[in-house]
Amino acid sequence: MLRAPRPARLAGTTGPTTDLTPADSRGKGEPKGAGPPRSGPGRRNRSGLHFCPPRYRMLGEMPRPRTDPMTPTPSKTVRSVERTLQLLEFMNRVAVVRVQDLAAQTDLPAPTVVRLLETLIAAGYVRKLGRTAGYCVTEKVTALGAGHHGLPQVFEVARQAAEALTRRTLWPAALATLDVDALVIRFSTIPMSPLSHYQSTINRRMTLLDYAHGRAYLAFCPAAERRHLVALLQQSAATPAEAQAIEERAAAVVAMTRASGFGERSGNVQPETHSLALPLRLGAKLVGTLGVTYFARAQVDVPALKAELRAAVVACESGAQAVG
């Protein structure tokens, strides 16, 4: 009986050859050779064929350790917290909000917004008002600021002055301090004003050239500080001509504000409301601004409102001197 020829041995090799021919196709008595190992990536299967898993066949790589898909990476963890805080911060500014509004304001997909809302509801910070009404924050959000004791001790007097101003005029008042190149609202009487235009303005930034608080600060701060602030504003300029325009506009704002005695915003931004602001000093140091906002269409005695604001600032500065 003729036998099938044995596979040729490669040049320069010794020992038995590896026969990859299926066992059923071999003649009887044909040596099987030293096949691949019984274990490991390369091995024979039950039919006698040399078996190698596809992922190792091309690259010869070993399996990578699997990671638990439920274990978040640090970047995902930080991002999810950031999104939640962004959502909660916006919800604090409005009384009731719907999913589509939150998605538009935060640039988050609607499914992500829904998951975040469900998490906040489970934690007790948000309440669902109905299938179509929307969502609102609960009283529990006040606990998030319980450990923050607010502005320095001198601003406790300013807070009382702002509240007294709102009680007399009904319009919302606010305290602001400088933060690099803008004024930031640190306290507001919006919760106690029946004429509030927003749910909250806390931590809102107001530019030096467009808002009453910013104009009051820029006009009445020391000259050296003013030059520094204008230089910061000029950093946004793309050309020397733009930088020159910023300097000229700042000079015009300062001249107008000093002539009026008040920082004023009247239609240049947020035209539905107008604002007045005055600087707050502790001795010779400028520490912030006190302002009041009213509806543009309301019949307001502006000179009387200015007098009330100035009286509030005088009371504030007198009280601050006593505290200091």
| Mean pLDDT, residues 210-221 | 97
Using the predicted structure, report yes or no on whether residue 257 has a pLDDT greater than 90: yes
Tokens 């909250």 appear where? 200
- Tell me whether residue 253 is in a domain: yes
Condensed to tens digits (0 to 9), the pLDDT of residues 3-22 reads 555 555 544 445 444 444 44
With 0-12 / 13-18 / 19 or more C-beta atoms within 10 angstroms meaning exposed / middle / buried, residue 105 is middle
pLDDT at 139: 82
pTM over 0.85: no
The pLDDT of residue 284: 83
Give the CATH number for residue 298.
3.30.450.40
DSSP state of 57: H
Q: What is the mean pLDDT of the chain?
A: 80
Which residue segment(s) compose the domain that 185 sits in? Answer: 149-323
Do residues 235 and 265 both lie within one domain?
Answer: yes
Same structural domain for residues 168 and 316? yes
> Which tens digits make up the pLDDT trace of 122-144?
999 999 887 777 898 888 887 88
Residues 73-93, mean pLDDT to the nearest whole number? 78
Structural domain tally of the chain? 2
Same domain, 176 and 190: yes
Together in a domain, 172 and 137 = no
pLDDT of 285:
87
The DSSP code for 42 is S
Residue at 4 is within a domain: no
pLDDT band at 63 (very low <50, low <70, confident <90, very high): very low
Confirm whether 71 is domain-assigned: no
Q: Is residue 47 domain-resident? A: no
**122 and 212 fall within a common domain:** no
Selected residue with higher pLDDT from 3 and 65: 3
E strand residue ranges, the chain? 43-44, 50-51, 126-130, 134-137, 173-179, 182-188, 205-207, 263-266, 273-282, 285-295
Residues 164 and 90 both lie in one domain: no
Structure token pair of residue 19: 């026969």
160 and 278 share one domain: yes
Selected residue with higher pLDDT from 282 and 229: 229
The pLDDT assigned to 64 comes to 46
8's tokens: 């040729």
> Which H/E stretch holds residue 127?
strand 126-130
Is residue 97's pLDDT more than 90? no
Task: With cut-offs at 50, 70 and 90, classify the pLDDT of residue 230.
Answer: very high
